[in-house]
Structure 1
Amino acid sequence: MTMLDLGVAGPAQSDYLYHFTGRNGQRPDTVPESIQGMSAQERLDCILAEKLFKAYAPFGATTPCICFSESPPDHLKYLIGIGRFSPWGIVTHRAAILSAGGGSVAYVPDAVHAQFQQAGLAHWSVRTAAGSTWMHEREWRLPRPQGSAGIQYVTAILVGDPSWRPRPVVTGLVDASTGDPVTGEEASPYAEPVYELPDLWRTSWIWVWDPHQEAVMKYPPGTLC
């Protein structure tokens, strides 16, 4: 995948896009109840364990998308401060999403949104009529008609608690009698699974939201393992 050179980002823009796993408000009916009932931490935990984004059709659209918010530092503070979003999710760059076929949405009146719908492009627009007040989200979308996408170009993992860790996942097998790695039970009757923190957690920067400083504290890969 070729990364794009987008030039400079002005103070009202950001190179960073956030896929928040916690958002207060209604969710589209396309999102299963099992996922709607999860906490922000549980959704993030699943993404890290599976190395997979699950895409669902946004309001007013039929094409599944992975959604992001563009936020300079002060705007991130605003989004979290007003309680619409919680500080949990995946951070990436604009160029990564554009290179993968995504982009920013258009905020348009109802009549124009209807034209997007008629063209089969409703996932690229958000209506701005009464009852649709989400312009502050500065939304970007990555269409994924197949319903999922592997995680690429992760800049950081955003968490709201410095003590939080994702659940360990199986990363291999060892012979319990020797401690040596094995390929499966057929190689040793004493084969046991090895559990570690997910690879993405161990190899990514971790950004911890500090509510007192209203900013993220950035930790290099491996620091919070």
Structure 2
Amino acid sequence: MARIDLGLLRPAQSDDLFHFTGRNGNRPDYVPEKIRNMSPQERLDAILGTQRLRGFRPFGTTQACICFSESPPDHLAHLIITRGFSPWGVVVDRVAVLEMGGGSVAYVPDAVYTYFRAGGLEHWAVRTGTDSVWLHEREWRLPIRGEGVNLVSVRAILIGDPEWRPSPVETGDWLNGETGERIPGPDGSPHTRPIEDLPSLWRNSQIWVWDASTNTVIKHAPGTLC
């Protein structure tokens, strides 16, 4: 099946949609306490280990969504430097989100927002006004059923520390720790142990490292930071 053609990109547009794992502000009480108390690095580590993005209700809505920000390079710098977003998360492209049923939200005045709410579509809109100033997020949302979506691949992984690595995960393979030989599976030997490696999303994706000295990202090819 052919991918959606979104036309030529303009300077204010980007194919990069960032799901940040850290930002300023409080998280709603209905987000599990364990997740609320995690650092941005810990949330990213959990995403990479489980290969899953979990979604929750955006403020003022009843529909759970996974949220992204469309950010050209200069706007990414604005979000991180000025708006306090943490440079940790995963990057996907617009077409992938559209094909899964997501899209960009509408930023509308209160009077228009009431129509979205009346139709049960408030998760597709964000109010604008003195008490609701979120245009800088350039938000996209992916409504979900259940707790989240599985990630087979991503465009890139964003990190704020070039030395950071995710926690190893079990690969499904086994090793005899005494001889170093791979074995088909647990054989009852006390020397048998599972083989661990960095998560496949980390090994198979570009890694974008935020460089605070230049306010840009340094892009590393898949497998080069393993």
- TM normalised by structure 1 equals 0.94
Counterpart for residue 132 of structure 1: 132
The number of equivalent residue pairs is: 225
Structure 2 CA distance for aligned equivalents of residues 28 and 59 of structure 1: 8
Counterpart for residue 116 of structure 2: 116
Counterpart for residue 68 of structure 2: 68
Give 1:165's aligned amino acid: R
TM-superposed deviation, 1:81: 0.8
Counterpart for residue 147 of structure 1: 147
TM-superposed deviation, 1:187: 6.6
In the TM superposition, structure 1's runs of 4+ consecutive aligned residues that sit over 3 Å from their partners are: 186-190
Q: Does 1:214 align with 2:210?
A: no
Q: Does 1:176 align with 2:180?
A: no
Give 2:163's aligned amino acid: S
Give 1:199's aligned amino acid: S
Structure 2 CA distance for aligned equivalents of residues 212 and 128 of structure 1: 34
Structure 2 CA distance for aligned equivalents of residues 166 and 122 of structure 1: 36
TM-superposed deviation, 1:189: 5.2
Counterpart for residue 79 of structure 1: 79
Q: Does 1:30 align with 2:30?
A: yes
Structure 2 CA distance for aligned equivalents of residues 39 and 101 of structure 1: 29
1:74-110: per-residue Cα shift (whole Å, max 9, x none)? Answer: 1011111114301100011111111111100001112
Query: Cα RMSD (Å) of the superposition?
Result: 1.6
- Greater CA deviation, 215-224 or 115-124? 115-124
| Partner SS state of residue 222, structure 2 | coil
Structure 2 CA distance for aligned equivalents of residues 125 and 28 of structure 1: 18
1:119-149: per-residue Cα shift (whole Å, max 9, x none)? Answer: 1111111111332111110000011121210
Give 1:173's aligned amino acid: W
Contact residue 62 and residue 123 of structure 1 kept, 8 A: yes
Seq. identity, % = 56
Q: Does 1:93 align with 2:93?
A: yes
In the TM superposition, what are the counterparts of 1:152-167 in structure 2 within 5 Å? Answer: 152-167=152-167
- Segments of 5+ residues of structure 2 without an aligned counterpart are none
1:185-211: per-residue Cα shift (whole Å, max 9, x none)? Answer: 247553201121111111110000001
Counterpart for residue 12 of structure 2: 12
Contact residue 2 and residue 99 of structure 1 kept, 8 A: no
TM-superposed deviation, 1:177: 3.4
